[in-house]
Structure formats: structure tokens, C-alpha cells
Amino acid sequence: MTPLLVFPLHRVGVLGPVPNDITVHVDAGYDSVEARTLISERGLRACIARNGRAGATQASQR
């Protein structure tokens, strides 16, 4: 189970309508069939980081 992913995904859309084609960017630790299913069931796309490679949010200096 991915409990840290379930709650935020459950809250998508609570504040109102969301744009189409939302991409969820998550850590490589969420690269599982269960996480991908949770994301796709809500009509979202997954961008899951790969170990050893910088993700989109890590591409620049903080």
C-alpha cells in the first residue's frame, strides 16, 4: 500500500475542477503497479522518477 500517495490523490478536485492532463510527479519509491493504478484511476498521468536520474523537479538548483 502507498499510504502517503492515497490521501493527496483522494483530495484532487476537492477544491473545485482541475485542468485536464494533470501529471503527478513522484519519487522513484512510488514506482509500483499499485501507485500507477491509483494515479490512472483518477484520470491523471504519472511521471515517476528513476533511481540515479534527476527528475523534472530536481533538474535545477533549489
Q: What is the pLDDT of residues 5-42, one digit of tens each?
A: 888 888 887 878 878 888 888 888 888 899 999 899 88
Of 27, 13, 17, 18, nearest in space to 5 by CA: 27
Q: Is the pLDDT assigned to residue 61 strictly greater than 70?
A: no
Please give the model's pTM, rounded to 2 decimal places.
0.68
- Name the DSSP class of 15: T
Q: What is the pLDDT of residue 10?
A: 82
Residue 1 CA neighbour count, 13 Å, CB half: 4
Q: What is the pLDDT of residues 48-58, one digit of tens each?
A: 887 766 655 55
In 1-62, which residue ranges form alpha helices assigned H by DSSP?
A: 3-10, 33-41
Q: Is 47 in contact with 14 (CB distance < 8 Å)?
A: no
User: Higher-confidence residue: 45 or 57?
Assistant: 45
Distance between CA atoms of residues 8 and 15, nearest Å: 12
